[in-house]
Amino acid sequence: MAIYPLDLVITRLQCQERVRQDVSEAPTEKNDSKYAGVRDAVAKIYRHEGGLPAFYSGVAQDTFKSMADSFLFFLAYNVLLRLRERRDAGAPTGSAVVATLEKIGVGCLAGALSKAVTTPLASVVVRKQTTAVASAARTADGTPATLGRSLSTRDIAAQIYADKGPLGFWSGYPASILLTLNPSLTFYAEAALKRALRVGGEPGLLMAFLPAALAKAFASATMYPLSLAKARSQAAKGGGGGGGGGGASSETAGRGPPRNVLASIPYIARTEGVQALYAGIAGEVLKGFFAHGLTMLVKERIHSQVINLYMLLARLLRRLRIRLA
């Protein structure tokens, strides 16, 4: 919940061009409600949408989605890992590299299974985060769009169904599958940084935080175009996952945004420029830097405290046994 406002700002920056194109084909450069960056988005959301509460639109649904995602991922991961170990019982031990790659594969499969269940929730969250963008957009004749700001979860679900049908709830799922590589990329980058910085044993606060934060920022930046394409696909009214923008309509491009979320990446680069694939990336890197860095910092501190508590209990039990002997 602490970083949710930043997540909302990132989603709006990613999706504003696509959402505005759904409302109107009119150019958006003259629209004062368009966000120029993270700071501009924060200022406009705060000023025009009722202050701090506006940054938490959809937080309840997102929290439930995150909890379900984590539970289903670890459930699927443990089941798949046990099935693999049972299958390989008694077989010759393979190389460490092969074992690592197999575990990564199991993790990706578990992620794909959990996302299959939670992607509909993610689609609802993205719509809830971006309805205000559609409300602020102007139609071709200059009148405000009719989409409301505060739609209920049921209203948004009905809207998605009306726009795209049942499969619309799984918009962006192919990109979600590929994004399951993000944790693996993060931990590999973190391990490489720790080796380069010669971090070992019990690292201090800085060395526990810095490699984890930098690794997550690197992984987030690497996978960002996929994340953007997924968000646009979930925010779009139609089936397309790409987005026009910069005044380039689908007629100018020769065809509309592609329905395939992965094909939307080259479409966005072609119609809006390569820089459009990184709209809002500053916020994403900042979110990844602090969220993962702080998570690993807390993990290291808890791990250290648990070990200290275990050693203390072991000493007390040893002294008790000596006294009772």
249 pLDDT exceeds 50?
Answer: no
Residue ranges of domains in the chain:
4-324
Average pLDDT (237-251) is 46
Average pLDDT taken over every residue of the chain = 78
Average pLDDT (183-193) is 82
Q: Give how far Cα 191 sits from Cα of 195, 199, 200, 297, Å.
A: 6, 9, 11, 15
What pLDDT is attached to residue 285? 82
User: How far apart (Å, rounded) are the C-alpha atoms in residues 255 and 295?
Assistant: 44
Instruction: Give domain 4-324's CATH architecture.
Output: Alpha/alpha barrel (1.50)
Contact 320, 252 (CB under 8 A): no
Average pLDDT (218-231) is 91
Per-residue pLDDT reduced to its tens digit, 131-174: 877 776 654 445 544 444 567 888 999 999 998 999 999 999 99
Confidence label for 93 from pLDDT (cuts 50, 70 and 90): low
282 pLDDT exceeds 70?
Answer: yes
What pLDDT is attached to residue 85? 77
Q: Could you give the percent of the chain with pLDDT greater than 90?
A: 24
More confident residue, 313 or 175: 175
Average pLDDT (90-107) is 67
Average pLDDT (291-312) is 67
What pLDDT is attached to residue 240? 47
Alpha-carbon 226 to chain mean position: 10
Confidence label for 122 from pLDDT (cuts 50, 70 and 90): very high
More confident residue, 119 or 303: 119
Looking at the DSSP assignment, which residues form a beta bridge with residue 245?
248
Average pLDDT (259-278) is 89
What pLDDT is attached to residue 19? 80
What pLDDT is attached to residue 158? 92
Q: Which of 130-159 are b and which e, b meaning 16 or more Cβ less than 10 Å from the residue's Cβ?
A: bbbbbbbbbeeeeeebebebebebeebbeb
More confident residue, 257 or 169: 169
242 pLDDT exceeds 50?
Answer: no
Instruction: Please tell me which of 213-222, 223-232, 256-265, 290-299 the model is most confident about, judged by mean pLDDT.
Output: 223-232
Per-residue pLDDT reduced to its tens digit, 21-79: 776 645 444 556 688 888 999 999 998 888 899 899 889 999 999 899 989 988 998 89
Residues in Cβ contact with 61 at an 8 Å cutoff, skipping those fewer than 6 apart:
121, 124, 125, 128, 153
